[in-house]
Amino acid sequence: MDDDRTLRTARMRWRAAEDRLFPSLLTAPASYQRGVTAMQAVVTELRRRGGGPQGLLAAEASAGEVVATACPDGAGLPPDLLVAVACGTVDRELTAQREQRRRSAALAAARTAGEAWAVVDGPRDVEELTAGRTVWVHLASGTVVLATADPWGREAAYGLEVSPGGAARSFADRAEWLAEVAAVRRRVQSGTAP
């Protein structure tokens, strides 16, 4: 569903609604609190209705009814704008929940397989990474190692970050970066400081 063209288009509408609404609320301090209260009520109503992305699309199609239910005393904002902003908020919550479930499943699968590391994002082998990131979690310590590659990066196209406690580093040379990623993972696995 996340790749559905209808949902992608809706997400653009929801973002555009936020871009229109929030600046107008900030320029009208008297209506700010009422607007925030109305948004919270509509978000609560959308959560109550559920239905995932399809439910949000249905709510957007019946914005007047959603706002009337959520704000029986009136909202002071156009229903289509208010519902679009609330849909964007709930959609981000749903996306974050799906991502958390995905990461939890990756951790559980690695534990079940007896692995020392779980890959929660990106390719398993850093050598495959040409753009984007790979994130490993060391299961015994909870240490997170993040390796990034930016093909458009000028001087430091490669990054390495360890948390907690490790500093972020940048590399211009891919071979040096690959060697340091491997070394950091070995140190974390052996229990020495990253």
Q: What is the pLDDT of residues 44-101, one digit of tens each?
A: 999 999 999 999 999 999 999 999 999 999 888 899 999 999 999 999 999 999 999 9
Regarding whether 94 and 173 lie in a shared domain, the answer is no
How far CA 8 is from CA of 11, 75, 110, in Å, comes to: 5, 27, 32
Please answer whether residues 151 and 172 qualify as being in contact, where contact means their C-beta atoms are separated by less than 8 angstroms. Answer: no
User: How far separated are the first and last CA of the chain, in Å rounded?
Assistant: 40
Q: Which residue from 127, 42, 43, 156 is spatially nearest to 93, judged by alpha carbons? A: 43
The single residue listed with the structure tokens 């902003």 is: 85
The domain boundary, picked from 76, 102, 128, lies at: 102
Higher pLDDT, 1 or 133: 133
* pLDDT value of residue 35: 85
Regarding whether 73 and 144 lie in a shared domain, the answer is no
The domain boundary, picked from 102, 135, 151, lies at: 102
Report the distance separating Cα 96 and Cα 49, nearest Å: 18
* pLDDT value of residue 26: 72
Q: What is the pLDDT of residues 10-29, one digit of tens each?
A: 999 999 999 988 777 777 77
Q: What is the pLDDT of residues 136-180, one digit of tens each?
A: 999 999 999 999 999 887 778 999 999 998 779 999 999 999 999
Asked, for residue 176, whether it belongs to a domain, the answer is yes
CB-based contacts of 45, cutoff 8 Å, min separation 6: 59, 66, 69, 70, 86
Please give the average per-residue pLDDT across 117-123, as a whole number: 95
Cβ atoms within 10 Å, residue 83: 30
The model's pTM: 0.76
Regarding whether 18 and 97 lie in a shared domain, the answer is yes
Higher pLDDT, 145 or 1: 145
| SS3 assignment for 121-188 | ECCCCHHHCCCEEEEEEECCCCCEEEEEECCCCCCCCEEEEEECCCCCEEECCHHHHHHHHHHHHHHH
Task: State the total domains in the chain.
Answer: 2
Asked, for residue 109, whether it belongs to a domain, the answer is no
The domain boundary, picked from 56, 76, 102, lies at: 102
Domain that holds residue 38: 5-102
Report the distance separating Cα 175 and Cα 185, nearest Å: 16
Asked, for residue 35, whether it belongs to a domain, the answer is yes
Regarding whether 124 and 69 lie in a shared domain, the answer is no
